[in-house]
Amino acid sequence: MKKVAALFLLFITFSSCHKVTYLRDTLTSHSWQITKWYENEIDKTRPCSIDDIYTFYPNDSFSLNTGDLICFAGEHQTYPGSWEMTPDEKRMNLLYDTHNLTFNILTLNSDKLEITYQEDSVSNRIIFIPK
């Protein structure tokens, strides 16, 4: 009986770890580009945002390339940073420049990354596609 219990525990542990690895692998398998940005469910997608490229690396580092279109004066071409996924795989923390954001992950697969976050009184929902 102890062997069965140990084998079951090993299976549960492996399954849990595999899921995290899969989501991390999916996130880091390519760069991401915004396709839609909603603020309080109103489409606020701007051309200067959809040319930005977000890249998440397996070592938990992050890079944002802002593209050719500038959103605000003084914007840098690139922003390095770091990221981490919470153990429950439902949130992701992103730290770059002066931003320290926590995103709720709604969808993460090979075709789509959809996140939400709250900033002040604005609810943001962003949809990314692979670049």
Task: Give me the residue spans of the domains in the chain.
Answer: 2-130
Encoded amino acid at 128, one letter: F
Could you read off the pLDDT of 4-54 as tens digits, one per residue?
444 343 344 444 444 445 888 999 999 999 999 999 999 999 999 999 999
C-alpha separations of 85 from 31, 72, 120 in Å: 17, 29, 23
pLDDT tens digits, 71-94:
989 999 999 999 999 988 899 999
Closest CA to 112 of 55, 27, 20, 47: 27
Q: Return the CATH number of the domain spanning residue range 2-130.
A: 2.40.128.270
Residue 4: which H helix or E strand, with range? helix 2-28
pLDDT value, residue 108: 96
